[in-house]
Amino acid sequence: MKPAPFEYVRPESLDELVGMLTAGDVLLAGGQSLLPALSERRRRLRRLVDVNAVPGLERCEAGPGLLRAGALTRHRDLAGRADVRAAVPVLAEAARHVGHEAVRVRGTLGGSIANADPAAELPGVCVLLDAVARVRSAAAGERAVPVADLLRPGGLAEGEVITVVEVPALRPGEGWGFAELSRPGAYAFPLVTVSATVMRGSGGVVTGVRAAVTGAAGAPYALPGEEAAGLLGAVPSAAWAGAVAGRLAAAARPVSDHYASAGYRRRMVAHLARRVLADAAGRAGAGGTP
Amino acid sequence: MIEVSFTVNGRPYRIAVEPRTLLSDALREQCGLTGTHAGCEHGVCGMCTVLDGGQPVRSCLMLAVQAEGRVFTTVEGLGAPDELSPLQDAFRAEHGVQCGFCTPGILLTLRAYLDQHPGASEAELREALSGNLCRCTGYQNIVAAALRAAGRCGVPEPGECSGERGSPLGAAAVRREDARLLTGTARFTDDVPVPGAVHVHFVRSPHAHARITGIDTSAARAADGVTGVFTGADLARWTSPARMAPPIEGLVPMETETLPSGKVRFAGDPVAVVVAADRYRAEDAGALVRVEYEPLPPVLDAEESLAGDAALVDDSLDSNVVFRGGLSSGDAAAAFARADRVVRTRFSHQRMTHAPMETRGCAAVWDAGRGELTVHTGTQVPHPFRTQLAARLRLREDQVRVIVPDVGGAFGQKLVVYREDVVVAALAMRLGRPVRWREDRGENLMAAASAREDSAEVEAAVTADGRILALRARLLSDFGAYSFFPANYMLRVVAMMLPGVYRVPAYSCEMTVVLSTKVPAAPMRAPMAVCTWVTESTVDAVARELGLDPVEVRERNMLREEELPYVTASGETYEDVTPYRAFGAVLDRYDYAGFRRRQREGRAAGVYRGVGLACVVEPTTYGSAFYRSAGIPGSGHESAWVRIDPSGSVAASTGIAAAGQGHETTLAQVVAAGLGVRPEDVAVRLGDTEVAPYGMGTRGARSGTAGGGTALLAARRLKEKVLAIAREMLGGEDGLDVRDGEVVAAKEDGWVGTGLSVADIARTAYLDPLSLPEGLEPGLAVQLAYDPPPMTYSNAVHLCEVTVDPVTGQVRIERYLVAEDAGTVINPAVVEGQVHGAVMLGAGGVLCEGIVYDEAGRNLAGSFRDYALPSVREAPAVEVVHCGTPSSRTPGGMKGMSEGGVMGSIAAVTAAVNDAIAPSGVTVSRLPVTPPRLSDLLDGRLPGVPGHQDE
Ligand SMILES: Cc1cc2nc3c(=O)[nH]c(=O)nc-3n(C[C@H](O)[C@H](O)[C@H](O)COP(=O)(O)OP(=O)(O)OC[C@H]3O[C@@H](n4cnc5c(N)ncnc54)[C@H](O)[C@@H]3O)c2cc1C
Ligand code: FES
Ligand code: FES
């Protein structure tokens, strides 16, 4: 279990990085997904381009209404920083569930998105919140792409670098919820996750609801907008949460594998969703996100 | 090569590395800091954790080139053997270390966490440790140590011990092994320096079953750094095949080539071996070996093999069935005809693997001038290993020396000479250079050895009030691709132990063992473990079908101590066991009636609680007479020497070898007790065949009785000589004894010193032999051998309470109680640690572990991502009650233990789950019960819980 040989470069500016990329280069961020793949020789590459010395990629700022998280923002910072938790508590909570402390110390948000595991926590929350990634390449310059698009097969083109992820903050009063069911045992990788936000207006009726699911389809998916529209105007109840859960489960396209059956995954979407929607509704209030 | 500079433990390093060099390798090999261990090299196990600027990181998931300018702490920086830090000391005090392979990563993880969260709670500490695996301890004492380090001392465990007061036997002494294991100064196989060694890498089959039609090694041989590439044809010239043909009725003789030449029989079978300057280059060249295969149908289903529908696994045989046997006693047919009810049960245990945290591996050095081979390897059985290896290499036995360094867990996986070991040793001789091999985790999971894919169909003839009249069982075991052990080795003991703690007037059992295209089977900690599950679960089924309580049915059938000695339906004689007393001890500690009340109330509220009971009889010791009568080849004797040097220091050795059990500590206690000295004055030397006397090694829970018993006898005999000399020196005084290294004389109210010490006696014995009594030879050393009784039995009762989440299928162990009767306990803390680890091993099998093959026979569990080991999150807190009834048949009254915990937990955890889900009408009979499988099984059968039809 040792990597095959490769060349190694460590560019020291974003321009240098983007300028040098050629076919067969692979970026190294936290290495928490890439290094196992190299050591097990599941992945071969010609040249490894270590982005950890590029200034600015680690910058993570919670501004008004928006979290601008550089691609190298570590899971540990998303989980632990007070300003991140204040702006996007649902992202902080999801990050807390990623791997273990040692993995969170190195693993990055950009790497998680580029890695695009269909069950991973952080991409799901990006889909929930309509996060947008800024992507640079020598060929196309900079483009802003919804993270949801990057997660589809072929979403990130060769030679493209995710530089920053812009995650809209929760609105004042918006409630949130996150739940995960992981595989048993020490690895505890997520099997299914559900995240949601709820806005409530006068009389406590639902004025906005968003939800996203990972691990139950080829890529994370959100509650379709037109379905969400039909769920507004009610006072949240178990039945209401059940209705949202039912729609999320209906949208699932799960697979069966040696971890779990498709049926189980679908049931877990519904099960987690009920709880997450109840949490989000419970947290929703007028002004400020508790 | 790239130069990198960094700091480790305050010391600057400057090394040159390849871009691909892993930080873990650079620390170990280039900085010489071998306390950082590699347990998986894919990020899951946590063994390689180091601190990077105070933060924990996996050093296997960083490249050495990324270390530039960084400041690391490794375990060597935490404290020295004679100066442990408080954290390290907490681990020693709480017995938080067994093999110690996981310990460095755990210490560093905790160090970082406690620095940031002093005074953390148990829940927080468990979460912080959830990324660090341990296969030995069941995590319990690790959590206790973490709590102690956080300033929250664990509640001391109650326990009554049988040891004599004031004797070193029965003291919960801290372990002498721990100082080195806690500081990174222990030496595991891969840490042994072997100058000039080349490294091997095995090229393995991707197919489950295929004919080898050609192997082209030319490109690999020409690759950078390669010494040579060899195949089965080469090895056939240099070595003898392994022949497994003991004269046992029903057993088909088999032979295994050193490397397969004609066909491969499982995915992972080695087909070629590359020797190169380092492991990286060896793997590069391995990728260039071109093997042409003609795929054959995989053989995955034992029933198909029985029906004769499967392809032949071994072309030299005429069937895949390699053992058939039976046991019977009493008139089962008549009992079934007379029975009020026949209760039928089925069981199927999944294939598991031992997964010791230190994988296999060895280093071989050939001294051509002397014609001597030295092999460093972590075997459990140094002498039998030497005997076998010498034969395979066609050497005289005295030409081979086996040295066992520290061993990072074995569990039955390090019992035989594997094909890889033979290859490495043969290459060292052929190439005239030291050769070493470190198995990687992928190989360990796919190609080392596996266990327990056993199934059973049972019928119990019972009376209307639940009395067992007869048992009939059909046992089937999937043995895998080759015969590393005699094919009846494991299943024979399952059949033998099936009657358990019950009166079974008539019994018949059929055993069948078949080959398949899977990893070959080996005994794994409690190779017979399914027997308890099968019997206890059948008793539960009897209770269910007759509407009786499981406790009541056990009461009705269980042997009472007054009935001993008792000859079981399989012909075993139980003596000195206490099944009924242990049963009572557990129920006294647990409010069973109260539980049934809580269970009823919970169900009404949608909370599913269950309780499971398991009564265990653990066969231990396995003396020679057992092997003879069971038709299994083997000897059960053990040897020991004890000597006192002229200065009075004591040393001892036996043929057992440790893999985390703390033998150096417990043997010192035993020798000290036998000789009358302090344990800390006894040095224990194990594992080197040039030092240790020929014994049968560590397996089958025999180390306490056979190893400890032999050492005790040798120490006692040596004490007689000490006393004989003392008597002479004191002018014929009688009534002498040795206590704490001093010769004492009996006075009416106790003992008084004589002014003579053991050191004085030793000086006389060696340096003034003319002062010795007439006829006594100079020196103070005794070596003897001892064949323990055919079998001794320990017993235990386990009680497990769980809650099942009926929707997610998650099982939580709420309470776990064990009453353990292992006879005289040498060290209760060591015994408890063995119980914790064994319970977790069994429970892990029930709840999450398993090897999975796809239809093509590919192993899907080739990493720790897919072979799910339990973490500290799943670990129960096991409460141990000791009820030590000394054995009347062994020196010191020891019975031995370490496997019963596995037997009990498979049964108790499964029973608890079944009790919890009883309202659904389904029972779990196939393992594991992972949450998805349990949820699918329940399939909406419990009120208010969704199933498939609701999707
Ligand atoms: C024991 C363990 C447990 C884990 N558990 C979880 C878990 O529970 N949930 C989870 O989601 N993940 C888990 N992971 C994976 C972890 O979260 C990874 O950090 C993450 O998947 C990848 O991030 P990284 O920074 O490590 O990326 P890397 O491993 O460095 O790279 C991953 C891929 O992304 C590409 N890439 C990286 N950065 C960029 C960029 N800026 N632009 C373009 N491409 C880029 C790389 O080229 C590579 O192909 C676990 C890992 C381990 C070892
Ligand atoms: S060796 Fe690094 S995590 Fe297992
Ligand atoms: S002590 Fe933890 S793996 Fe052995």
DSSP string, B826-892: S-HHHHHHHHHHHHHHHHHHHHT----B-TT--BS--STTTS----TTT---EEEEE-----SSSGG
| A60-168 placed in CATH 3.30.465.10 | yes
Going by C-alpha positions, the residue among B438, B443, B496 that lies closest to residue B471 is B496
Asked, as a colleague might, if the bond just before B928 is cis with ω within 30 of 0, I would say yes
- Is the Cβ pair B131, A101 closer than 8 Å? yes
C-beta atoms surrounding B120 within 10 Å: 21
| E strand spans, A148-272 | 161-168, 175-182, 190-200, 206-214, 221-222
Pick the closest to residue B789 from B703, B674, B891 (CA basis). Answer: B891
Nearest one of A206, A278, A216, A219 to A248, comparing CA atoms: A216
User: CA B2, CA B26: separation in Å to the nearest integer?
Assistant: 12
Instruction: Tell me B484's DSSP state.
Output: S
Strand duo A175-182 + A161-168: pairing: unpaired
Any long-range contacts for B298-301 (C-beta under 8 Å, 24+ apart)?
B298/B208, B298/B209, B298/B517, B298/B853, B298/B855, B298/B856, B298/B857, B299/B208, B299/B209, B299/B515, B299/B516, B299/B517, B299/B857, B300/B208, B300/B516, B300/B517, B300/B518, B300/B853, B300/B855, B300/B857, B301/B516
What is residue B149's predicted lDDT score, i.e. its pLDDT? 96
Q: Is the CB of A162 under 6 A from ligand 1?
A: yes
Of B88, B52, B61, B68, residue with least CA distance to B15: B68
- The pLDDT value recorded for residue B701 is 66
Q: For residue B325, give how far its alpha carbon lies from the nearest alpha carbon of chain A (Å).
A: 34
Q: What is the C-alpha radius of gyration for chain A, rounded to an integer number of angstroms?
A: 19
ipTM of the complex: 0.97
What's the mean pLDDT in B114-125? 96
Q: Where are the domains of chain A?
A: 7-53, 60-168, 175-283
Please report which confidence band the pLDDT of residue B165 belongs to, taking 50, 70 and 90 as the band edges: very low
Strands (E), B270-311: 270-276, 290-295
Cβ A186–B871 below 8 Å, yes or no? yes
Q: Among the atoms of ligand 3, which is closest to the Cα of residue B356? A: 3
pLDDT bucket at B160, cuts 50 / 70 / 90: very low
Nearest to B313 by CA among B99, B481, B98, B518: B481
Is B477's pLDDT higher than 50?
A: yes
Task: Note whether B162 and B170 are within 8 A (CB).
Answer: yes
Average pLDDT of span A86-105? 97
Q: What is the DSSP string of B315-373?
A: TTSS-SEEEEEEEEES-HHHHHHH-SEEEEEEEEPPPEE---SS--EEEEEEETTTTEE
Mutation pick for ligand 2 pocket among B47, B190, B438 (CB with most ligand atoms within 8 Å): B47
Please say if the pLDDT value at position B167 is more than 80.
Answer: no
Checking if the pLDDT of B551 tops 80, the result is yes
CB within 8 Å of chain B, chain A residues 121-180: none
Q: Torsions phi, psi of B610, nearest 5?
A: -145, 155
Quote the pLDDT of residue B169: 84
Place of tokens 């709880």: A275
Question: Which CATH topology does B637-786 take?
Answer: Aldehyde Oxidoreductase; domain 4 (3.30.365)
Q: Is it true that domain A175-283 has CATH number 3.30.460.20?
A: no
State the distance from the centre of ligand 2 to the C-alpha of A187, rounded, in angstroms. 12
Return d(Cα B513, Cα B479) in angstroms, integer.
6
Give φ, ψ of B731 to 5 degrees.
Answer: 75, 35
- Candidates B239, B236, B254; CA nearest to B482 is B254
Q: State the Cα–Cα distance between residues B267 and B480, nearest whole angstrom.
A: 11
> Which single residue is written with the structure tokens 């509640």?
B155
pLDDT confidence tier of residue B940, bands split at 50, 70 and 90? confident
Assess whether pLDDT exceeds 80 at residue A290.
Answer: no
- B71-73 and B2-8 strand pairing: parallel
Q: How far is the CA of B125 from the centre of ligand 2 (A)?
A: 20
State yes or no: pLDDT of B179 exceeds 90.
yes
Extract the runs of DSSP E, i.e. beta strands, from B206-340.
210-216, 226-231, 242-244, 254-256, 263-264, 270-276, 290-295, 321-329
The span from the CA of A184 to the CA of B183, in Å, is 32
Superfamily designation of domain B2-77: Beta-grasp domain (3.10.20.30)
Ligand 2 pocket at CB < 6 A: B 38-41, 43-48, 58, 60
A111, A32 Cβ separation under 8 angstroms:
yes
Q: Residue A49 above 60 pLDDT?
A: yes
Would you say A191 and A223 are in contact if contact means Cβ atoms under 8 Å apart? no
B198-204 and B435-438 strand pairing: parallel
What distance in angstroms lies between residue B135's CA and the mean position of ligand 1's atoms?
A: 27
Q: Where in chain B is the domain with CATH 3.30.365.10?
A: 362-448, 451-624+790-938, 637-786
Structural contact between residues A5 and B19, judged by C-beta atoms closer than 8 angstroms:
yes
Answer yes or no: are the C-beta atoms of B668 and B684 closer than 8 Å: yes
A156 pLDDT higher than 80: yes
Looking at residue A55, what is its pLDDT? 96
CB B236 within 8 Å of CB B258 = yes
Quick one: pLDDT at residue B621? 83
Determine which residue's CA is closest to atom 6 belonging to ligand 1.
A99
Q: How far apart are CA B937 and CA B128, in angstroms?
A: 33
Instruction: Please check whether residue B264 is in contact with residue B271, taking contact to mean a CB–CB distance below 8 angstroms.
Output: yes
Q: Which CATH number fits domain B86-181: 1.10.150.120, 3.40.50.970, 3.30.1370.60, 3.90.550.10?
A: 1.10.150.120
- What number is the average pLDDT over the span B269-276? 98
Residue A78, sorted as left (phi over 0), alpha (psi -120 to 50) or beta, turns out to be alpha
Task: Give B106 Cα–ligand 2 centroid separation in angstroms.
Answer: 12
By the 10 Å C-beta count (0-12 exposed, 13-18 middle, 19+ buried), A61 is classed as: middle
pLDDT tens for B312-336 read 999 999 999 999 999 999 999 999 9
Average pLDDT over chain B, rounded to whole? 94
- Residue B925: pLDDT above 70? yes
Q: How far, in Å, CA of B737 to CA of A175, rounded?
A: 78
Question: Is the pLDDT reported for residue B418 higher than 90?
Answer: yes
Output the CATH code of domain B362-448.
3.30.365.10
H/E run at residue B400: strand B400-403
Q: What local confidence, expressed as pLDDT, does residue B94 receive?
A: 96
Q: Are B709 and B668 in contact (CB under 8 A)?
A: no
Question: Does B812 lie at the interface with A, CB-CB under 8 angstroms?
Answer: no
Using left for φ > 0, alpha for ψ between -120 and 50, and beta otherwise, residue A157 falls in beta
CA nearest ligand 3 atom 2, residue? B134
* Residue B699 confidence (pLDDT) above 80: no
Taking the whole predicted model, whether its pTM rises above 0.80 is answered as yes
B164 pLDDT tier (thresholds 50, 70, 90): very low
A35:B61 CB<8 A: yes
Under CATH, which number does the domain A7-53 receive? 3.30.43.10
- Taking the C-alpha atoms of residue B208 and residue B226, their distance in angstroms, rounded to an integer, is 28
Query: What is the location of CATH 3.10.20.30 in chain B?
Result: 2-77
Which residues, at least 6 apart from B596, have a Cβ–Cβ distance to it below 8 Å? none
Q: Is the beta carbon of B882 within 6 A of some atom in ligand 3?
A: no
- Convert B78-143 into a string of H (helix), E (strand) and C (coil): CCECCECCHHHHHHHHCCCCCCCCCHHHHHHHHHHHHHHCCCCCHHHHHHHCCCCCCCCCCCHHHH
Question: Could you tell me if B376 and B362 are in contact, meaning their C-beta atoms sit under 8 angstroms apart?
Answer: yes
Name B512's bridge partners.
Answer: B324, B476
Measuring CA to CA, how many Å separate B777 from each of B671, B680, B780?
22, 28, 9
What's the fold here for domain B451-624+790-938?
Answer: Aldehyde Oxidoreductase; domain 4 (3.30.365)
Q: Which residue has the tokens 């029965």?
A: B170
Answer whether A41 touches B (CB < 8 Å).
yes
- Give pLDDT tens digits for B625-676: 888 887 777 789 999 999 999 999 999 999 999 888 899 999 999 999 999 9
